[in-house]
Copies of this chain bind each other. A is one copy, B any other.
Amino acid sequence: MMDEATQALHARITQGMPERLILAEMEDLRPYECDGLAVYRQLPRLVVLPETIEQVQHVLRSCCALGVPVVARGAGTGLSGGALPHADGVVLSLAKFNRVLAIDPLARTARVQPGVRNLAISQAAAAYGLYYAPDPSSQIACTIGGNVAENAGGVHCLKYGLTVHNIRALEVVTIDGERLRLGGEALDAAGYDLLALLTGSEGLLGVVVEVTVKLLPKPQLAQVVMASFDHVDVAGAAVARIIAAGITPGGLEMMDNGCIRAAEDYLHAGYPVEAAAILLCELDGTAEEVAEDLARVETLLREAGATALQVSRSEEERLRFWAGRKAAFPAVGRISPDYYCMDGTIPRRELPRVLNGIAALGEKYRLRVVNVFHAGDGNLHPLILFDGNAAGELERAEHLGAEILELCVAVGGAITGEHGVGFEKINQMCVQFAALELEQFHALKHAFDPQGLLNPGKAIPTLARCAEYGAMRVSRGELPFPELERF
């Protein structure tokens, strides 16, 4: 049974879109209660699945008029709780916006709806020898709209950049139902760079209803070298050597022993299970360029102390080397009842220090942490293993995660690399930013959404919340557990 407020909202929304596109029953709402960060769950009042931009405008205008929060949602693969529903709000799913509208091989762009899957763009562009570069691990499932909201990255963003570097235009609907076109076909646009501002804004400034992405010519060849090391520090230093030598690999990834073993058990990719760490270094370009870079990288890795090197000799072998890395999260899911995937970014030079710090924090909280990350970017993904059924383990995992993020900030890094802040890291924003910077964020939010209806409680904490978090950290000497009831 809908309560009165929900009934009023439902009645209003049905004025502008068919009732079949509005979900209100408990069993229909259930699939939307969380995103990829499933430890947080919340049912919304309603889920709407508009099919046209006009319907999106109508939903936003209705919510704006009634003061109802709106959480936009793509595929729900996000890992920071950015699409966690609001108890008083509407979930606006873009799932039905799933068409590739146009591919322009001369401009090297694709115009797509936000619900198109990341990988589907490259599949559609393949006929022209083009592809879309950013490749999150979830690229089979995640949508480009969600990629824009989180400024998603992937294995290849060391060389090819994050989402913000790979999009050219957005169409956005504001909370009052107006359409804005940001960016355009031309290389640069006049006016403030709202395109970049909206990218990574986690659904707090507007709802993306169309995306024009840049496409790149496919490299002629890509090869991967897999290097084994007997210590993670040594592997970290090897990353530094490659970069300092002026080489920009297509991807440069690290996995530690725990992660290597989990992946190998799961997929049998041929990983060296005795190694303390492996580096996967992909080089792409023309055949000659790859051969030359490969020779240099092999020498650098040996000099850096690699104990073994393997080079992919076929496309099949290259994909096998990557398969273990891409499946690292599910592989770890098999060795632990639960795991919690962190996402932080640090300056490359701090890799050894932070890896040692994470190990020490794991001991402090009596939890195992395995590491897999975009080493070239300094983008870490520590996976905290825990058992949600064991009393206190989830809380310990969250405290450990918070301390890892705060360690990233302490060494000059950031609390997110590609997953966003969402609901998960809202407290750590208080550590990352000064009050003055948060005030500027709020002023900017107010310029787009004065009532604060778009994804409230995510990404940017209130100053009151930060004061509370600061006081807790000081008085208890520990990190608080963020309670869902707070917002």
Give the interface of A toward B (CB within 8 A): 104-108, 129-130, 151, 153, 157, 161-162, 164-165, 174, 178-181, 184-194, 196-197, 199-201, 205, 217-218, 240, 243-244, 246-248, 285-286, 288-289, 292, 345-349, 377-379, 408, 412-418, 420-421, 425, 429, 432-433, 436-437, 440-441, 443-448, 459-460
Q: Is A106 a contact of B244 with CB atoms below 8 Å?
A: yes
B-chain residues with CB within 8 Å of residue A377 when the two chains form the complex: 187
B-chain residues with CB within 8 Å of residue A446 when the two chains form the complex: 447
Distance (Å) between the CB of A291 and the closest chain B CB? 8
Given known contacts A412-B184, A448-B443, is B178 in contact with A436 (CB within 8 Å)?
yes
* CA gap between A283 and B248 in the complex, in Å: 18
9 A-B residue pairs with Cβ-Cβ distance under 8 Å, sorted by A, are A106-B348, A157-B187, A186-B347, A188-B379, A190-B432, A191-B441, A192-B197, A286-B292, A288-B289
B-chain residues with CB within 8 Å of residue A414 when the two chains form the complex: 184, 186-190
Given known contacts A217-B246, A288-B288, A443-B447, is B192 in contact with A201 (CB within 8 Å)?
yes
Please pick, from B105, B248, B418, the residue contacting A188 in the complex, using a CB distance under 8 A.
B418
Please pick, from B248, B286, B349, the residue contacting A289 in the complex, using a CB distance under 8 A.
B286
Q: Is B186 a contact of A345 with CB atoms below 8 Å?
A: yes
Distance (Å) between the CB of A305 and the closest chain B CB? 18
Please pick, from B106, B349, B416, the residue contacting A106 in the complex, using a CB distance under 8 A.
B349
What residue in chain B is nearest A205 (Cβ atoms)?
B192
Distance (Å) between the CB of A460 and the closest chain B CB? 7
* CA gap between A214 and B137 in the complex, in Å: 26
* CA gap between A441 and B189 in the complex, in Å: 13
Q: A188-B416, A189-B414 are in contact. List 4 more A-B contacts (CB 8 A).
A: A174-B440, A186-B378, A188-B418, A190-B459
Interface centre among A104, A190, A201, A415 (most CB of B within 10 A): A190
Given known contacts A164-B196, A165-B165, A440-B448, is B412 in contact with A191 (CB within 8 Å)?
no
Interface centre among A179, A196, A377, A413 (most CB of B within 10 A): A196
Distance (Å) between the CB of A450 and the closest chain B CB? 9
Given known contacts A414-B184, A444-B444, is B196 in contact with A193 (CB within 8 Å)?
yes
Q: Is B193 a contact of A164 with CB atoms below 8 Å?
A: yes
Distance (Å) between the CB of A197 and the closest chain B CB? 5
Distance (Å) between the CB of A297 and the closest chain B CB? 14
Report, nearest first, the 3 A-B pairs whose CB atoms are least far apart. Answer: A196-B196, A288-B288, A217-B246
* CA gap between A29 and B443 in the complex, in Å: 36
Q: Is B448 a contact of A379 with CB atoms below 8 Å?
A: no
B-chain residues with CB within 8 Å of residue A421 when the two chains form the complex: 190-191
Interface centre among A244, A348, A447 (most CB of B within 10 A): A447
B-chain residues with CB within 8 Å of residue A162 when the two chains form the complex: 187-188
* CA gap between A331 and B311 in the complex, in Å: 53
What residue in chain B is nearest A216 (Cβ atoms)?
B248
* CA gap between A143 and B297 in the complex, in Å: 36
B-chain residues with CB within 8 Å of residue A346 when the two chains form the complex: 186
* CA gap between A65 and B192 in the complex, in Å: 26
Q: Is B413 a contact of A185 with CB atoms below 8 Å?
A: yes
* CA gap between A107 and B239 in the complex, in Å: 11
Q: Is A437 a contact of B181 with CB atoms below 8 Å?
A: yes
* CA gap between A205 and B444 in the complex, in Å: 12
